[in-house]
Amino acid sequence: MLGRGWKFTLRVGVWVTVIFAIVAVTVETLFAARGALMTVNNLVVILGMLIAMINLFFRPPPAVPGMGALRLGGVVLVIFALGENLAGLGLPVWPQGQEVIGFFFFTCCLGYAAALRIAAKEKKLLAIEAELETARRIQSSILPERAPQIPGLDVAVRYVPAASVAGDFYDFLPADGKRVGILVADVSGHGVPAALIASMVKVAFSSQAERAEDPAAVL
């Protein structure tokens, strides 16, 4: 939700937190000094909140659903977290232990923003599915409706594309009452671009009716 360019600062914040956690746990374990680095911890939290707010307000990605809710939740969380950590630095704003309220509110806002984002992606997915369905209908329309009727010859066709829209294509070019030209083609790639190339092959092949007796000339 915060975009790509400024994720670097968030990663730095995460690594600083991880390194500090390792150092703090080691120090407190070896020297039995519980809470010895709590002041540093409070400063790390305050710095992390500052970095997060800069990303949230000054470097947001364009058109992110729920950004307003995310900012509101972030502000509330920062207020409660600052109060908690300022109290740890000896600057009490209100009694400690209230940070969980801000975190709960932020989690609700984050869930709301995530739900909006999922809904937006679902809408885009439905639009893509509608376009693919149109492409499937177009592709089906360029395939022959029926096999040619040649005395003494039975032709059966089964068309099962590997993808929803593919570049597989076949067509018939009757030469006379006794012969028929058959084209079986597979366009490189898959999806809508391959189906479009197949439709071009259909037009080109159909225009060679007068050369049906000469496969080399047709090609």
What digits encode the pLDDT tens for the residues 118-171? 998 899 899 888 878 887 887 788 888 888 888 888 888 888 877 677 778 899
What are 29's two structure tokens? 């374990």
177 vs 172: which has the higher pLDDT: 172
| pLDDT(3) > 70 | no
Q: What is the pLDDT of residue 6?
A: 58
First to last CA, the chain: 52
Higher-confidence residue of 105 and 189: namely 105
Residue 62 has a pLDDT of: 63
CA distances from 3 to 15, 55, 58, 74, 174 (A): 19, 9, 11, 16, 58
Please check whether residue 178 is in contact with residue 150, taking contact to mean a CB–CB distance below 8 angstroms.
yes
Following CA atoms 146, 148, 154, 158 in sequence, which dihedral angle do they give, to the nearest 10 degrees?
A: -40
Q: What is the value of pTM for the model shown?
A: 0.53
